Structure 1
Amino acid sequence: MSNQRIRFFFMVMAAFLGLSLQVSAQQFSVHATADTNHIRLGEPVKLQVEVKIPASLKGQYQLSMAVLPDSFEHFEVVERAKLDTLAPTADFSGIFRQTTTLTSFDSGQWNIPPIKYELIKPDQTVDSAFTEPLVIDVNTVAVDTSKAFKPIKSIRGVAWNFMDYIWYFVMGGVAVLLIGFVIWWFFLRKKKAPVVVAPPAPKETPYQVAMRELHTLETDQPWHQDVKAYYTTLTDVLRNYFEQQFKIAALEQTSAELLQNIKPVTILNQQRDKLQAILTVADLAKFAKLQPSPEDHAECLQKAIAIVEWTKPKPVAETAGEKAAPTKSAL
């Protein structure tokens, strides 16, 4: 009789433990992992967060995904990957993963704090879950103190090569010939169409706004008061100009993403070296606490002016009108 009671007790405990494991496996949960716990200054670390939704909800939920700020707790966000949706399982109706690339320019042992996620159920109740805190060691680059320190070298640009752009010149020449033929055909062989008064142009074009703000920086020279604020303003002027002139979402992109996305814009990609030099010095001044020299401040400003001048829109309509005016008097 005693053995039967012991056997019954163990059967009840096994059933209870199995039910508990099944319930716990179906809870809303988040889990964070890092591909490494040791980096050097400026090296990347990939943070992957996995979110699991219990199968009992079956899509009847709202998931509030956390968004890391661009800068937090000694870390900078370099890249945000798209949210991946995995195939559902018997226990989970939704499994999501997202990878964020981080870096740090401060040496020491830093914590990636817990990240909060919220799940809104059909009855409007909210479940919250947090990721585990992660510790990342950021180490400096080893320096051989037995050797003498060498001065920092200045930024060197790549020499301009005509052969790299020869096809652009060829295509440009063909385009000029075609435009000239069209003008000759419609304006010299046929009667000139009545002049249509164009609507008034905006008060300031993107080019005019950018040049006005750059000349203000040149006059005020704000780097004497705050170097970091100066480079932030300088790069914002360029990013706003790219958005307005070329429809590039420059304000939402990192420096590396911006340099990648200007490649399809030929006239802007021709100034890639100048833009890369400006962004490199600006990132070092803002994030790595580098103190560029006064010559670097003025040089970056002049490069920004040169980029805007090179990429400004050409007044095609006005040029065509100037060519057509002498023809009218000759007739």
Structure 2
Amino acid sequence: MRRTTVKLIILCVLLGYVLCPFRLLAQSPFEVKARTDTDRIRIGEQLKLELTADLDLNSMPGASLKVVFPNLPDSFAHWEVVDRTGLDTLGQTNGEKHFKQTLTLTSFDSGHWEIPPLKFEVYSTRTDGSYDSMFTQPIGIDVGTVTVDTTKAFKPIKSVRTVDWAWLDYWPYMAAGAGLVIVLFALWWFLLRKRKKKEPAPEPVSLEPVYDRTIRLLKELDTEKVWQQGNVKEYYSRLTDILRTYFEEQFGIAALEQTTAELLQNIKPVTILNQQRDKLRSLLSLADLAKFAKLQPSPEEHVDSMHKAMEIVEWTKPAARPAEGQGLPAPANGSGNHTKQ
């Protein structure tokens, strides 16, 4: 009988050793606590629930542990969680590691309610994956109602009160509205200025008569000695442009957009201009060769082209037609002896 009892004791010890899932923590103290700052509140009041966990690392050197605090839902057993802090590690003193979390609770049901036991878990981060769990003690809290003196009569319900209007209560909206108006006005002003800048400025209206301006431009071209400086193409381009502009403004012919053949065809209805047709054809043909065929006319041809241009303008002058060969301004660099066309 005695031998059987010894065997039974040894068997229980071996089974306890083998079946323990977390032998490491069985050798190391693990303490958890839950406490509140009061045991009595009124409906809607709040209390603080403090959860702590202490680990004694002296009894488990080299151990790597992870503590998991209770995960309370927002509403449980007549209680509401108003706020919760994060898990704080309070540091390590004398080989002990401390953890803490604070929750703010309230209740809207009167009576005596308990905060149930809360489960803590400790995991070993080693490869064995063992864990252990511990529970806190339940905490009883009395939730009372507001004391009502039933000996006194009920007071009547007060009517709705009208609150005086105060502009200070609405100044943020006023400021936002004023800011929006300023922004819209600034945007409109910016777009208006930008549009005005894009609009092309109207060309200045020249008060100088067409004939006087044409003669002045021809004399300026002759005085600049363009062809004498080797710029033959520029000389004939400017010369023909001056004549074509004169035809457009004086006779309404789209001379700047027309070829030489088209221009000679369109001057036929203008009798006074058609009378200078041969001179104009000779001048425009020589200018086309100089501009597009790189022809190099002689100096006499340059001077003669200017003389023909002035003759055409003088002949078609809005005033009385001058006599043939009379009253023509001579080119500044022209020779007095050249043949009339």
Per the shorter chain, which TM-score range? 0.3 to 0.5
Q: Hey, which of these two has a bigger chunk of helix by percent?
A: 1
Q: Given the two structures, how large is their TM-score scaled by the length of structure 1?
A: 0.45
Which has the greater radius of gyration?
2
